Amino acid sequence: MPASTAILIVNGFDRRGLWGTHFDESDARRYPWLEICLREVARRSEGSDYGLLVWDNTQLPEMRALAKSSGARLHPSDDDLVATAKDQDGLAAELVLGHNRSLQRLWSLVPAEFEFVMTLDTDAFPIRDGWLETLHELLDGAALAGIWRDEMTPQLQSFVHPSCLIARREGLARMSAPFAIEGAQDVGQRITREFAAAGEKIAPLRRSNVRNAHFVIGGIYGDLVYHHGAGSRVPVFRNSAAEDRDIDVHARLRAAVFENVDRVVAVLRGASDEDIGLALEPVSASAKS
């Protein structure tokens, strides 16, 4: 029987947190990253044994309907939303959690039969059939695998990013609260650090673009997974001094992805010269190494 994988997805973010003031409900409805993520997971995972667990922080009916139609186990449940007191905006506010707290809640709900646990951002999705099996193969010789976030060094130490992070359930269970952020800037940093400190091998999916629109936005990793970067928040990055350009590239590439995912991926892979509305730069040989 194929190994089973629990895929944990957080839709939206804490509206009261770091990016909360930038939540644009009309944008969330116009660009439903969750829809693309769930569609591409289903498309690229035929014959694979996996289950989806979604924590929805938007509380938008159409987003919840998307999750349910995919067969995902949706949290918080409809009953939870009805039973929880509403704030002035009509939200069950105590159920709108930050990204790491949402992942921690989902982790606590993973059924015992799953061998692997993966986290996946809504703006990250597979671009190749058999992606889950490829990740399982990486874990034959490693304890942790996934998107290697090294584009923002030295401001941000390299780590496996939770946009696509996978480990065996038993490995995560050895950590008291794997998705806490204690002593780190990102949940993935803590997990990476603790696995490394235990002498465990890490299998990074490195950025594999042939063409780049941005140093973070629009990344392909290991020729296996696409991550848009900042899909559900304002695109501000620690080591960028060109915020206006970041916002422009984010918007243009987002529009291209929602128009035709395969075309964008082919262009970034270097397999197509189609115009996707962006100036693209070839990746240097040194950047690939």
For 91-116, how does the pLDDT look when each residue is reduced to its tens digit (9 = 90+)?
A: 999 999 989 999 999 999 999 999 99
Identify the DSSP state of 24. Answer: -
Q: CB–CB of 8/37 below 8 Å?
A: no
What pLDDT does residue 6 have? 98
CA distance 264 to 266: 5
Confidence (pTM): 0.94
Q: Which of 4-18, 136-150, 193-207, 266-280 has the lowest mean pLDDT?
A: 4-18
Joined together, the tokens standing for residue 213 give 């629109």
How much helix, strand and coil, in percent to the nearest 5, is found in the chain?
A: 35, 20, 45
pLDDT category at 82 given cuts 50, 70, 90 is very high
User: Which has the closest alpha carbon to 110: 22, 212, 60, 178?
Assistant: 178
What pLDDT does residue 21 have? 54
Look at residue 35 and tell me whether its pLDDT is greater than 60. yes
Q: Kindly state the average pLDDT of the residues 188-209.
A: 96
Q: In what order do the strands lie in the sheet with 225-227?
A: 124-126, 225-227, 219-221
155-164 pLDDT, tens digit per residue, is: 788 999 999 9
Look at residue 50 and tell me whether its pLDDT is greater than 80. yes
What pLDDT does residue 201 have? 98
Joined together, the tokens standing for residue 121 give 């951002």
What pLDDT does residue 286 have? 42
What pLDDT does residue 289 have? 44
Give CATH superfamily name and number for 5-206: Spore Coat Polysaccharide Biosynthesis Protein SpsA; Chain A (3.90.550.10)
Q: Kindly state the average pLDDT of the residues 146-172.
A: 93
Q: Where are the alpha helices (DSSP H) in 215-242?
A: none
Which contiguous run of DSSP H or E holds residue 62? helix 61-69
| Residue 151 backbone phi and psi in degrees, to 5 | -75, -15
